[in-house]
Every structure is written in structure tokens, then in C-alpha cells.
Structure 1
């Protein structure tokens, strides 16, 4: 690559001490891990610091609150997001970053492909599928997943003026990026059985809450985000993202 690539990886964290060693060991060399502690009581923050991560404290509970706190704390040109529960390998983000840096996409999303039984509960998968269909209706994007693993440029993300601080945050990012004409790509990533219990979709109640949060995002009328993803943004709208493995 001709440009110097600097990357911050935002890792929202709520009681993930069991998973942190595995996750942080897979952060690519030279990248910075931003572990956003969202009220952990199991020593996650202390462990993350001991393992070399930068720890950001976000007292307001919520997946979106943690993600956005990490985005605001980021300093690198490129920012990645990844769950901190060992269900996704952050080492795979190198391909995401390469696509953004090369100008092939403005936002790269990971399409989760379950590996083994229990990796993705049926109720969570059903909720995700329903939301993907609603998203297609709202934006025209033919995405098959709304997973948390993604990469984009920091300034462009800040320009989207994201406001959701609950489970709707990842969806709002995609919707506003589509409205701004970003090129959005989806690529396959292995989805492993997570460490511990999911705080969002591990139960029917959690899944219902996530679907409700995201449905509110989809109900919002299209607006005009502050800016496009950069000079490489396409002029013909978001279009249909290209799926496929790496």
C-alpha cells in the first residue's frame, strides 16, 4: 500500500475477561485495541490494560454507547469494530482495511457464517434476517447480515452524526452510510461460539429488544448526513454490495 495505514479497533466490552486474551492476541501488529468498558464487574478493564490495550470507560450502558465512545476516542485514520466475546477474529479485519484503503469500498461489513452448533441461536438469526429484509426495502442494499464486524474511515464515520446508543447503532451506521452514497461491501467471516452469554441476542427478550431498537432506526426518514466517505465515494449511490469470502 502506498499510504501509511493506521488503525484503531473498537471493542465494546461488558464482562468479557474470559475472552479478552484470545481477542487481543489477534489484533494485527501495529494496530491499537480500544477496549470500551461498559460497566464490567469481572476485571475486564484491568485485564485489558495488562494485555496492552487502551481502555476507554463508558458509564452509559448500551452497545451503541460503547461503540460511539470508542469512535470518539479513536485517533487513527481507519476505525474497525469487532465484538469482544471471541465469536469473531479481529485478525480478519486486515482484509476489510485493505479494501477501504485501496478505495474499493467505503464501509466493509462482515457477514457472519456460523461455525459449529450454538454459534448463532435460531431466534437471533431470524431477527437478523427480518431486519436485513427491512433494510433492503429502506435502502436497496442487498445485505444478508447486520453484524458488528466492520471498517471505515474515522472522519467519514463521525460525519454520519450517529445518534443511537442502543442496539440500533450498527444498523443506523449502515442506513446513514447508504443515504450518503457510500459503497458498502459485505464479506464472509467465520462466526464462532461466543465466550460467555450474549448481552444482546443471547435470549428471546434480548433479541426482541434489539429488533425493536433497530426497527426504530429504520422508521426514521432519510436525512442528509454531514458528508460522504471521501474522495473515493461513488457518485451513483450505495448500490448493491458485493458479498463473498476472503
Structure 2
């Protein structure tokens, strides 16, 4: 692929999975792989470096904080990429599907592509009931209030760099993905989805794996949807 693609991977205590994620990304497709070590207390940094990623440290916890750290690094480079891909570090997504994810941007001039777990093959148990319901509710609220049809808030996503800059992303925690989709709808971006395979993650989720994390994620998603109406 001729397009300049940079992958940003937020990572908090993912020493057992982040290397697998980095290794499975098609190296002939991307310019840089950036892992943002989000105040991990294990060997996440070492595992990411061993796999060949550029590792940044973000000491303040929060998914959005980690993503913003990666974007700040990219914006300060001499040349910017054409496409930014976001990917989780827990190995639940299939990084080798990156080319499928970015194809609508490269071939059809789309602005943003969401890797949809709802449309793809999802391994049994890979998403909790609250996760499935939360995605269903959030995407229907986006459709109702913003007129955009999504099926998922999946973290595996691609967006044109200049369009991402226009969104002025600001959420520092659980609302990052829905903020991007809501703002994309408000800006009239050309969006689509690609079916993605999804498997059980390595290790325990810091969000859906706890009652507090599930509640806070749900609250932040709903708050963000209504905030930008």
C-alpha cells in the first residue's frame, strides 16, 4: 500500500499480549507502530519494544489520554501520515485484518472506517452481555440523534489524519471511541464499517472485567452522546 499509515496502540498492563499484536500487524502496510504505555506496572514497555514498536509513556491513566499522547507524537513529526489506525493491545482483534480496515479509505475515499465486531465473526464469550447491550444502545442513539448508522463502537478503526485533526478529540477516558463517531457524524464525515473477527482477549479486561469499569464506561458513553447533541 502506498498510503502512509501509523498505528497507535494504547496499552495498560498488557505484557502478555502487546507483542503478539505488534507482530501480527502487516509490516509492509504501515510506516510506524506506536505503543503508548499507559502507566503499566508490568513489562508492557519491554514487550512492545522487543516486538519493534515505538514506545511512548503516558503516566496518567485513561484510554483517551493514551490515544492523545500518540496523536501528540504524530503531530510533532516532520511529516504526517495519511491514515491513523487505532488498535487495542489485548489481542482480541485480528491485527492482520488491517489492510481490510483501511481499504475503504484508500480505494473509496472514505474518511473513517469502524471495524465492526457486530458484523463480523465473534468468538463466544469475547464480549460480555453489558458490552453487547451497550454497543446496541449507543449506536441506536447515534442513529436517532445524529442520523448515522453504526453497529459498533469497536476500538479497531481507521481515520484520515486531517479529518481526525478536525475532530479536536478531547476525551481522556472511556468516551474516546464514541466521541470520535459522534463528532464524525456532526462534521458529516464519510463513514463506513468493515466486518471484523473478534476473540477472547488475553488477560482480564480493565473495563468490562469489573463492575465499576462497566458502569463508568456505560455512563461516559451515554454522557458523550448527549453532550454533543
User: Structure 2 length as normaliser, TM-score?
Assistant: 0.91
Is residue 38 of structure 1 aligned with residue 43 of structure 2?
no
Once the two structures are TM-superposed, the CA of residue 114 in structure 1 deviates from its matched residue by: 5.2
The match for 2:77 is: none
Which digits, 9 at most, give the CA deviation of each residue in 1:168-209, with x for residues without a partner? Answer: 011110111111111110111011000001111223321211
Q: Larger deviation: 72-81 or 44-53? A: 72-81
- Determine helix, strand or coil for the equivalent of 1:102: helix
CA contact (8 A) 1:131 1:211 kept: no
For 1:102-181, what aligned pairs fall within 5 Å after superposition?
102-112=107-117, 113=120, 115-181=122-188
> In the alignment, which of 71, 79, 85 is matched to residue 80 of structure 1?
85
CA contact (8 A) 2:182 2:228 kept: no
- Determine helix, strand or coil for the equivalent of 1:191: coil
CA contact (8 A) 2:6 2:33 kept: yes
Once the two structures are TM-superposed, the CA of residue 45 in structure 1 deviates from its matched residue by: 0.6
User: Structure 1 length as normaliser, TM-score?
Assistant: 0.85
Which digits, 9 at most, give the CA deviation of each residue in 1:40-81, with x for residues without a partner? Answer: 111111221121100011112111111121122234221100
Q: Distance in 2 between matches of 1:117 and 1:206?
A: 21
Q: Distance in 2 between matches of 1:121 and 1:219?
A: 24
CA contact (8 A) 2:37 2:44 kept: yes
Which digits, 9 at most, give the CA deviation of each residue in 1:78-115, with x for residues without a partner? Answer: 11001110000122111222211224411000111453
> In the alignment, which of 6, 9, 12 is matched to residue 11 of structure 1?
9
- Determine helix, strand or coil for the equivalent of 1:39: coil
Q: Distance in 2 between matches of 1:138 and 1:218?
A: 8
CA contact (8 A) 2:100 2:194 kept: no
Shift >4 Å, 4+ stretches = none
| Residues matched between the structures, number | 220
**Unpaired runs of 5+ in structure 2?**
75-79
Q: Distance in 1 between matches of 2:170 and 2:145?
A: 19
Q: Distance in 2 between matches of 1:80 and 1:115?
A: 21
Q: Distance in 1 between matches of 2:122 and 2:226?
A: 33
Q: Please provide the CA RMSD for this pair.
A: 1.5
Once the two structures are TM-superposed, the CA of residue 155 in structure 1 deviates from its matched residue by: 2.1
The match for 2:71 is: 71
- Determine helix, strand or coil for the equivalent of 1:190: coil
CA contact (8 A) 2:11 2:18 kept: no
